[in-house]
Amino acid sequence: MRILIIEDDNETADYLAKGLKETGYTVDRAADGREGLFLATSETYDAMIVDRMLPGMDGLAIVQSLRAQGKLTPVLILSALGQVDDRVRGLQAGGDDYLTKPYAFSELLARVQALLRRQKPGAADTTLKVGELELDLLARTARRAGKPIDLLPREFRLLEFLMRHAGQVVTRTMLLERVWDYHFDPQTNVIDVHVSRLRQKIDKGFASAMLHTVRGAGYRLGVEPA
Amino acid sequence: MSTGRLFRTTAFRLAAVYGALFALAVVALFAFLYWRTLTLIDAETDAAIASEISGLAEQYRQRGLVGLMRIVTERSAAQPEASLGGANIYLLTRPDGAVLAGNLKRWPAAAQPTPAGFVFNLAAAEEGAQGNARARAFALEGGFRLLVGRDLRQREKLRAVVAESLALGLAATVALGLLAAMLVGRKLLQRVEAINAIGQRIVRGELKQRVALGGAGDEFDRLAENLNAMLDQIERLMTGMREVTDNIAHDLRGPLTRMKARLELALLPNSDPAQHRAAMESAIAETDRLLATFNALLSIAEAESGALHQSMRPVELGPLAADVAELYAPALEEKGLTLATEIAGCPPVLGSRQLLFQAVANLLENAMKYTPKSGRVTIATRSAENGSGPRGAALSVTDTGPGIPAELRGRVLERYVRLDQARSTPGSGLGLSLVAAVAKLHGARLELSDNNPGLAVTLTFPPRVEAPPQPQAAAS
């Protein structure tokens, strides 16, 4: 997997590149907008991380010109501008996800992995399967090892999201954004409570846990423990 | 205020242009008057001459040449000096040109014709005489000729007097116009200068300065009122910004100091890897808290700046309240609280869905934080009664906690205010001030009241009057 980082701040770029390389990705770097756009159009990447404010060319302009050329490389936009309007503008320009500085590397990694996963075909699945866990998207039913699990509508959406990102870390903010469709900062552990209720339903009475808490990052659904 | 500056003012220029136009009109009017006066005098002179000639002709017919001679002599005698202005002029001559009677020495040689006779220079008929005369000749039988005329010097004098008065009048008009222009310009300039002076003082930092009103309710007063309103808003924003800066400094210094101390401790020579790790973990936790505070402050600033008005969309409060309730229900249950929802249909409000969600979530988190075990929290929406007019929407969050004493309800909306009872619970003290900022952004009324027991917080949104804005096209 090749990832392009377009970021003018050397230290941030170093930190991102180091983290991503340790996770097992190949990383290319561009320090300004023009070089970034050149690399993005001439090479093939699986995902791009684009800073919004760049010398030479604005990050949004890069994404727009990429999209205009028909390149669908998933893009994560990084920005120090966290206001609702800026977010919307970033996504309208063709970005696939938007992350406000400062961020935790775990959050960034989780989002990049989600972007990489999203590319894979299979959006038309009617059932999702992770280990013993099965989700029927048409009948809206869930089973583990054949045993039906009774889920509330929101719990179903939560589980669906976790299963679509099985094996990956998903953060609390990602869950709020994708499952609840709100982008805000809860002062309390609201998401944790929802996840622990879901965990009760899918893990209780089974020998192995499938819904794991990843300390300092979020959650991961998978057969094998972290 | 220098004179050069006065001449450059718009008011002076306007007044000068009006003055020039007025002077032009006055010149035209005076010229017309002058022309009419002269025409009238000429017409009257001609009429007098005509009637005199017809009288003399009558005498001639009745009494013959001798009678005419006598009358002409008599009348000439009454006007002994033809050279005096305004006199009547008579001359009766024989066919050979010899003077029979009259007060002219000879028949004038050169003459300019007029519609009713002619005008001649008196010098042509009499040496040493000056000025013009207007006359008419009448031919008698046998080559005798009669001339009756009027000395025009009186008319010339009148003309000169009229022309002089008109010139003086014009000069006075122009002078008055200029004076008025200067006075008006100076007056306007004074008021503008007063506003400028205030502006300069404000630029120098005296933010409390306001433009004084003239009291006449004129356009300058309206300008001053608008400027003052603008200055009020600027002052509010500046104060808000200063508060934010102060508060950020206050809020960041503590945690940053702690963080620095712990990291320095971890760097001491005799510390071990476990201590390093603990220091780093606590630094990260401290950073997270700092960021949460930071984000809350930014959200408040964003809501208070009003910059979001552009991106407001109709938001249904019912589903929004239900979403918040659904998100928080498990957390409340975990704390041993009951969460009830009373969602009644209400008209959509124009707003920012994300900020409204954050505000309602803050209210719910507050209720959750302060309501003791086995308490009850209710989130409700309904349409707000507004007489017979269009209905607004209302959203309320009520709890059965300790409530807030009436006299402190205003204070808790301020930033960082945490009542003494709340000091022991975690929190930034920013939750309610964000709610207040969001309410203000949406034009909603935020009310804290008694729930007997507990606190009731109600957001009342005004009826939506304007049409919802069209969704904006993607930024290009």
Which ipTM was obtained for this model? Answer: 0.77
Query: How close is the nearest chain A Cα to the Cα of B331, in Å?
Result: 6
pLDDT higher at B372 or B129: B372
Q: Distance, in angstroms, between A201 CA and closest chain B CA?
A: 14
Cβ atoms of residues B342 and B400 within 8 Å: no
Query: B31: which residues sit within 8 A by CB, 6+ positions away?
Result: B166
Q: pLDDT band at B414, cuts 50/70/90?
A: low
User: Among the ranges A142-146, B122-126, B194-198, B406-410, which has the highest mean pLDDT value?
Assistant: A142-146
Q: What CATH number is associated with residue B451?
A: 3.30.565.10
Q: Are residues B437 and B360 in the same domain?
A: yes
- B331 chain-A contacts, CB cut-off 8 A: 188-190, 193
Residues of A with CB under 8 A from a CB of B: 60, 64, 82-85, 88-89, 92-93, 102, 154, 180, 182-190, 193-194, 197, 216
* Average pLDDT score over residue span B326-338: 90
| Residue B304, pLDDT score | 72
User: Residue B333 domain-assigned?
Assistant: yes
| Together in a domain, B285 and B419 | no
Contacts of A89 in chain B (CB under 8 A): 475
A83, A61 Cβ separation under 8 angstroms: no
- Measured between beta carbons, the chain B residues lying within 8 angstroms of A189 are 331
Q: Which domain holds residue B433?
A: 310-461
B253: tokens are 């210094």
As a whole number of angstroms, the distance between CA B199 and CA B383 comes to 46
Interface size, chain A vs chain B, as Cβ–Cβ contacts under 8 Å: 68
* Integer Cα distance of A171 and A100 in angstroms: 14
Q: Considering B251, B285, B305, which residue would you say is the last residue of a domain?
A: B305
Is residue B145 one of the residues assigned to a domain? yes
> Does A102 sit behind a cis peptide bond, omega within 30 degrees of 0 on the bond before it?
yes
Distance CA B402, CA B362 (A): 17
Residue from the list A182, A193, A216 with its beta carbon closest to the beta carbon of B334: A193
Determine the Cα–Cα distance for residues B394 and B444; give it in Å rounded to an integer: 9
Q: How, if at all, do strands B338-343 and B376-384 pair?
A: parallel
| CA B233/CA B88 separation, integer angstroms | 86
Predicted confidence (pLDDT) per residue in B56-72, tens digit:
888 888 888 888 888 88
Closest CA to A7 of A65, A53, A64: A53
Most confident of B77-86, B242-251, B278-287, B453-462: B453-462
Q: In angstroms, rounded to a whole number, what is the distance separating the alpha carbons of residues B57 and B79?
A: 20
Chain A residues near residue B362 by CB distance under 8 angstroms: 187
Residue B452: inside a domain, yes or no? yes
Tokens for A79, please give them: 């920005």
pLDDT band at B83 (very low <50, low <70, confident <90, very high): very low
Of A82, A84, A194, nearest to B330 by CB-CB distance is A194
Same structural domain for residues B370 and B457?
yes
For B469, phi then psi, to 5°, come to -65, 150
Helix (H, G, I), strand (E, B) or coil at B149: strand
* Cβ neighbours of B427 in A, within 8 Å: 187
Is the Cα torsion angle A53, A56, A59, A60 positive or negative in sign? Answer: positive
% of chain B exceeding 70 in pLDDT:
87
Interface test with B, best of A193, A195, A197 (most B CBs within 10 A): A193
Same-domain check for residues B278 and B361: no
pLDDT for the residue B163: 84
DSSP-based three-state secondary structure for A119: coil
pLDDT at B280 over 70: yes
Q: For residues B350 and B315, is the Cβ–Cβ distance under 8 A?
A: yes
Residue of A nearest to B322 (CA): A180
Average pLDDT over residues B376-400: 85
- What are the residues whose beta carbons fall under 8 Å from the beta carbon of B340, sequence distance 6 or more? B376, B377, B378, B379
B252 at the A interface (CB within 8 A)?
no
How far apart are the C-alpha atoms of B125 and B120, rounded to whole Å? 9
Contact A216 B284 (CB under 8 A): yes
**pLDDT score recorded for residue B247:** 67
Q: Which residues contact B106 (CB under 8 A, 6 or more apart)?
A: B97, B99, B125, B126
Q: Do B352 and A186 touch (CB under 8 A)?
A: no
Asked whether residue B199 is domain-assigned, the answer is no
Task: Yes or no: say if A71 and A45 are a contact pair by the CB < 8 Å rule.
Answer: no
The per-residue pLDDT for range B98-125, each reduced to its tens digit, is 888 887 777 877 677 877 788 887 776 6
Give B4-41 pLDDT, tens digit per residue.
676 777 777 777 788 788 888 888 888 888 888 888 88
Assigned token pair, B339: 């969460």
Nearest Cα to Cα of residue B425 among B372, B357, B358: B372
Give Cα A95 distance to the centre of its chain.
Answer: 13
Asked if B368 lies within 8 A of A188 by C-beta distance, the reply is: yes
B93 and B123, same domain (yes or no): yes
Q: Least CA distance to B352: which residue of chain A?
A: A84
**pLDDT reading at B473 higher than 70:** no
Residue B296 shares a structural domain with residue B377: no
- CB environment B84-108: b (16+ within 10 A), e (fewer): ebebbbbbbbeeeeeebbbbbeebb
What residue segments make up the domains of chain A, in order of their start?
Answer: 2-118, 127-221
Using a CB–CB cutoff of 8 Å, tell me whether B433 touches chain A: no
Interface test with B, best of A86, A99, A184 (most B CBs within 10 A): A184
Neighbours of B238 (CB within 10 A): 11
Q: What is the pLDDT of residue A159?
A: 93
Nearest CA in chain A to B299: A83
Across the range B169-198, mean pLDDT stands at: 83
The 8-class DSSP code of residue B388 comes to: B
Determine whether the interchain pair B307/A85 forms a contact, defined as Cβ–Cβ distance below 8 Å: yes
User: Which is more confident, A121 or B298?
Assistant: B298
B280 part of contact set with chain A, CB < 8 Å = no
Mean pLDDT of chain A: 87
The mean pLDDT value for A26-48 works out to 90
Give chain A positions within 8 Å (CB) of B308: 84-85
Average pLDDT over residues B151-155: 77
Q: What is the pLDDT averaged over residues A93-116?
A: 86
Question: How far B330 CA sits from the closest chain A CA (Å)?
Answer: 6
- Given a cut of 50, whether residue B94 has pLDDT beyond it is yes
User: Structural domain tally of chain B?
Assistant: 3
**Mutate which: B354, B360, B377, vs A, most A CBs within 10 A:** B354
CATH of domain A127-221: 1.10.10.10
Rounded to the nearest angstrom, the minimum Cα separation between A222 and chain B is 24
Whether B47 is in a domain gets the answer yes
Task: Using CB atoms within 10 Å of the CB of residue B311, give its burial: 0 to 12 exposed, 13 to 18 middle, 19+ buried.
Answer: middle
B289 found inside a domain: yes
Minimal C-alpha gap between A153 and chain B (Å): 11
Q: Which of A19-33, A50-64, B144-158 has the lowest mean pLDDT?
A: B144-158
Q: What share of chain A in percent tops pLDDT 70?
A: 94
Query: Within this chain, do residues B326 and B433 fall inside the same structural domain, yes or no?
Result: yes
Average pLDDT over residues B240-253: 72
Contact present, B401 and B372 (Cβ < 8 Å): yes
Give the span between the Cα atoms of B139 and B145, in whole angstroms. Answer: 5
Which phi and psi (to 5°) does residue B473 adopt?
-70, 160
**B26 with B90, same domain?**
yes
Identify the pLDDT of residue B320. Answer: 92
Residue B398 pLDDT = 92
Residue among B195, B186, B184, B185 nearest B220 (CA): B195
In a shared domain, residues B322 and B368: yes
In which element (H, E) is residue A212 found?
strand A211-214
Angle between helices A105-118 and A10-23 (to 10 degrees): 60
B277 shares its domain with B373? no
Domain spanning A2-118, CATH class: alpha beta
Q: Choose the most confident range, by mean pLDDT, from A207-211, B404-408, B448-452, B468-472.
A: A207-211
Segment B266-293 shows an average pLDDT of: 83
Of B280, B305, B330, the domain-final residue: B305
Assess contact for B386 and B434: CB atoms under 8 A. no
Radius of gyration of chain A (CA): 19
Q: Look at residue B181 and tell me if it is in a domain.
A: no
Enter the tokens of residue B402: 């300790």
Residues B290 and B347 in one domain: no
Predicted local confidence at residue B370, as pLDDT? 86
Measure the CA–CA gap between B142 and B95, rounded to whole angstroms. 7
Q: Do B418 and B340 lie in a common domain?
A: yes
> From CA B313, how far away is CA B468, in angstroms rounded?
7
Residue B308 above 70 pLDDT? no
Last residue in a domain, options B158, B182, B208: B158
The DSSP secondary structure of A6-49, one letter per residue, reads E-S-HHHHHHHHHHHHHHT-EEEEESSHHHHHHHHHHS--SEEE
Q: Identify which has the larger pLDDT, B190 or B338.
A: B338
> Tokens standing for B28?
């035209």
Q: Is A80 helix (H, G, I), strand (E, B) or coil?
A: coil
- What is the pLDDT of chain B when averaged over all its residues? 80
Q: Using one digit for the tens of pLDDT, what is the confidence trace for A2-25?
A: 999 999 888 889 989 999 998 889
